[in-house]
């Protein structure tokens, strides 16, 4: 329940901010981020930044703040959030990453996946999704 409240609050703020950045989002894909990840990469870094007006965070999950949502579906141990809402991500065998927003296009790092999701969302809020 608190998740929805937070999403609404942050989503509204993010929508206002992203309007300014939307043009850039469409024309500046991070090509460098698409480089192939090295195999057997170490655990990916923790990050927390504002990208195109939205807060993206990534790091090992397991903190008390995790709501037990859809992330459990694939047994991953790393969580990515966009404006506080969890973005479902998955690590491929070769160390590359995908998300539910870009599911067919592996990128090198979770941060690259989070940034790609922000560009693809064009200001829209993520919707919590449960496995049925």
**Under the rule (CB under 8 A), what is the footprint of another protein?**
11, 26, 29, 70, 73-76, 88, 90-94, 100-106, 120-122, 124-127, 129, 131-132
- Residue among 39 and 64 whose Cβ is closer to another protein: 39
Q: How far is the CB of 11 from another protein (least distance, A)?
A: 7
- Residue among 50 and 129 whose Cβ is closer to another protein: 129
Q: How far is the CB of 23 from another protein (least distance, A)?
A: 10
Tell me the Cα Rg of the chain. 14
- Residue among 43 and 64 whose Cβ is closer to another protein: 43
What is the greatest pairwise CA distance in the chain? 40
Three-state SS for 17-65 is HHHHHHHHHHHCCCHHHHCCCCCCCCCCCCEEEEECCEEEEEEECCCCC
């Amino acid at each position: 329940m608190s998740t929805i409240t937070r999403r609404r609050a942050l989503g509204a703020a993010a929508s206002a901010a992203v309007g300014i950045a939307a043009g850039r989002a469409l024309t500046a894909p991070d090509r460098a981020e698409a480089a192939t990840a090295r195999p057997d990469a170490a655990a990916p870094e923790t990050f927390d930044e504002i990208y195109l007006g939205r807060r993206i965070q990534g790091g090992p999950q397991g903190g008390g703040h995790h709501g037990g949502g859809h992330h459990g579906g694939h047994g991953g141990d790393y969580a990515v959030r966009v404006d506080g809402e969890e973005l479902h991500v998955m690590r491929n065998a070769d160390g590359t990453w995908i998300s539910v927003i870009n599911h067919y296009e592996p990128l090198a790092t979770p941060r690259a996946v989070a940034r790609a999701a922000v560009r693809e969302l064009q200001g829209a809020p993520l919707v919590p999704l449960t496995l049925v």
